[in-house]
Structure 1
Amino acid sequence: MNLAIFRLAVCCGLRVSEIGSLRLRDVYLVRPRPHIRIPRGAAKGGKPRTVPLWWDAGTLADLTAWKEQRLAEGAKETDALIASRRHGGALSRYTLRKRFLTACKCLGNSRVHTLTIHHGRHTFISHALAGGRSLAEVRDAAGHANVSITSG
């Protein structure tokens, strides 16, 4: 679960509120363009968007495995993608942040205390641009209103 949260933040650029509100049905794994659909109610400013998963094979593989595991455990497509094993409900923002930091512990304790899930969004944007994606593609995936926010 911690790896899935890390991937959603750092490799997909999702906000903590978006991670918490994702449903299994929002993760489309159909080729050739697997993606995550951020629905209107979950996205900042109410603007729905799609986040490509085909940009990163490792993220696609990890999120595919996580979704398959949740479905094998009996979860339905309408259930939370990231859910409590105890009661099956979506995790709180606090718990998501705590699990994100647990996934980041390999960076060392001094570094972990300075990180947030929002830093993952910045990493996603930087890596996508460094990987050759256009400003417009990254702007759309990040859900920014204009390119100046993405390039800033």
Structure 2
Amino acid sequence: MKLIALITAVAMACVGCAHAQRPESRIYVVSKSAEGLGAALATGGSGGHDCQQEHVECMQRCWDNRYPWPYSEEQSGWYHERCIKTCREQFAECDKEQEQALREKEKKLNFSSMDRAIEWINGHKGEMTVGAIVVVAGVTFALAVNPLGWLVLVPVAVAAS
């Protein structure tokens, strides 16, 4: 989905229209490596919680609370299903919260200078995704990876109000 947004943004920048604001023509290199980009997302969001680990712990707690019955794994089918259902709901809620926190953080990617933007992005690569929108001094950029594998900020055309 974010790839589609990035492609759309790049297409808008290329095609533009008579009412479009002329974007800054310079592309800024954030890093010469995109390594680590989105790494925190694999754990379920913006690095605050590891939803997968919480799910494993939930399953363990649920199973440990089965005493005094069922006594064996053969008798535990219904109980195991109950644990799966309960923990799946908790995982979904955790994942939803992480995605919402990430969206909120991306909304706040508004900087007064390019140096500050680049410094912040480098320090938070794991929380960033390709296609994230970054506003620097009123100019809108999209985070992208160029063919060399470099992490770059590409200017985006924004329609005038």
- Which bracket does the TM-score occupy, shorter chain normalised? under 0.3
Select the structure of larger CA radius of gyration.
2
- The structure, 1 or 2, with the larger RCO (C-alpha pairs under 8 Å, 6+ apart) is 2
Name the structure where helix makes up a greater proportion of residues. 1
Give the TM-score normalised by structure 2: 0.24
Give the TM-score normalised by structure 1: 0.25
